[in-house]
Amino acid sequence: MAYKKICLQILRYEGLKYANNDDKAHGILFDGAWLWEEYLNTLLRPIGYDHPTNNNRQGGIKVYAQKFSGNNVRRYPDFVKDSRIILDAKYKRMKDNKIDRDDLNQVLSYLFLYRADIGGYIAPTEEDDLALNMGLLNGFGGSIHKFKLSIPQKVTSYQVFKRAIAENETKLIASIKELSFKQSVDESFSTI
């Protein structure tokens, strides 16, 4: 439980010491992308999203249905709901109407492997919340969406921040739930 020890040392202002020396650490690095993904997991798991994790090889999907040589590699999207909706956490600035080429290719490959209908991204923003349908896909069909969670910036206290972020989280969850509803309605009409 090294993480607990580090957290307690930080909270107690004890400083961090590595190995057997008395040097103090004057900073610590956190993986912001990992923290963002885990934070989103606390919001998405209650509404039915699985969170495959590649660091402990849980979940994910094999690339090959039948592999003839070499290892069968797996892909691990950040969030999957019923193998139909794939969401990717992005801890970076994403322009409202643009998606980076590599990010788009990543989600397209997940959609293909899962035969999913809906893909999307969730990124933080200093601006207003955003739920944007980027468009319908050629080929097998489906759609790509972009969600931005507004992180309150000009707040006077922690309590004000908590209220503001809770409101923004509620808006994000409502927008994401609409995807699930839309997807289930589309499926029911396709069976008629």
Q: What is the pLDDT along the chain (192 residues), one digit of tens a residue?
A: 666 666 666 666 565 555 455 656 566 677 888 899 999 999 999 999 999 987 777 888 888 888 888 888 889 999 999 999 999 999 998 887 789 999 999 999 999 999 999 999 999 998 887 888 999 999 989 999 999 999 998 888 889 999 999 999 999 999 999 987 765 555 544 545
Q: Are residues 21 and 38 in the same domain?
A: no
In this structure, the answer to whether residues 50 and 11 fall within a common structural domain is no
Q: Is 38 found in the same domain as 24?
A: no
> And the tokens for 62?
């094999």
As a whole number of angstroms, the distance between CA 131 and CA 171 comes to 9
Residues 9 and 41 in one domain: no
**Based on the domain organization, do 124 and 168 belong to the same domain?**
yes
Residues 108 and 139 in one domain: yes
Tokens of 143: 């759609």
Does residue 44 share a domain with residue 22? Answer: no
13 plus 42 within the same structural domain:
no
Same domain membership, residue 5 and residue 89:
no
How many DSSP H helices and E strands does the chain contain?
A: 4, 7
Residue 176 belongs to what domain range? 32-190
Number of compact structural domains in the chain? 2
> What residues have CB less than 8 Å from 14, skipping those under 6 apart?
8
138, amino acid identity = N
Q: Are residues 155 and 75 in the same domain?
A: yes
For residue 46, give the DSSP letter: G
Please classify residue 161 by burial: count the beta carbons closer than 10 Å to its beta carbon, then call 0-12 exposed, 13-18 middle and 19+ buried.
middle
Residues 76 and 91 reside in one and the same domain: yes
Same domain, 89 and 122: yes
- Provide the 3-class DSSP secondary structure of residue 89: strand
CB 16 within 8 A of CB 9: yes
Residue 189 confidence (pLDDT) = 45
